[in-house]
Amino acid sequence: MTETKPPSSDVGAHNDVGAQDDIELRLGASLVHLPIIRSVAASIAMRADFDLDAISDLRLAVDEACSTLITRAVEGSTMVCRFTISDDQLRFRGAVTSGESDAPSTASFGWRVLTTLADSADAWAEPGTQNGQRNWIHIELAKRKPTLT
């Protein structure tokens, strides 16, 4: 099976963030890779001086987002995950190719968990652009750095 590449507007275009600060992973869209993604999310948040509670929330939110994406992915496809660090937040975006044309439901229990753990979250579907190309399903979330009071 030949997998299509994400469109040029893929993982970083939903917001204007410089790609020089991005960390991108490309993994098989399989639940066995969740521990790797959780570890990367925690390591990035630690290096960005997030506190332990925020690191734990981010790790669980990324896990939920990736689980949702993986269950919608075409078998044997790749999941693209991008982490973007800024002064006040860490942003995660994940995308998979899917045979489905709708974004993940924002009414599900998993989405409620994700939005409780993250400061913002969004999900959308992007239709394939050429003959036979699969749709792209995206989830983006952000966790702000806790402020000291």
Task: Name all domains of the chain by residue range, CATH numbers in brackets.
Answer: 22-144 (3.30.565.10)
Residue 4: pLDDT over 70: no
CB neighbour class for 10 (10 Å; exposed up to 12, middle 13-18, buried from 19): middle
Q: Does an H or E element contain 63, and which?
A: helix 52-72
- 49 phi, psi to nearest 5 deg: 65, 35
How is 101-117 classified by DSSP, letter by letter?
Answer: -SPPPTTSHHHHHHHHH
pLDDT at residue 47, as a whole number: 92
Strand order in the sheet with 135-144: 22-28, 78-85, 89-98, 135-144, 120-126
Contacts 24+ apart (CB under 8 A), 40-44: 40/81, 40/83, 41/83, 41/92, 44/83, 44/85, 44/90
Residue 17's pLDDT is what? 45
DSSP 73: B
d(CA 74, CA 65) in angstroms, rounded, equals: 16
Q: Is the whole-model pTM more than 0.85? A: no
**What is the percent of the chain where pLDDT is above 70?**
83
Residue with tokens 């669980």: 60
Q: Please write the tens of the pLDDT for every residue from 125-140.
A: 998 766 567 899 999 9
pLDDT tens digits, 60-95: 999 999 999 999 999 999 999 999 999 899 999 999
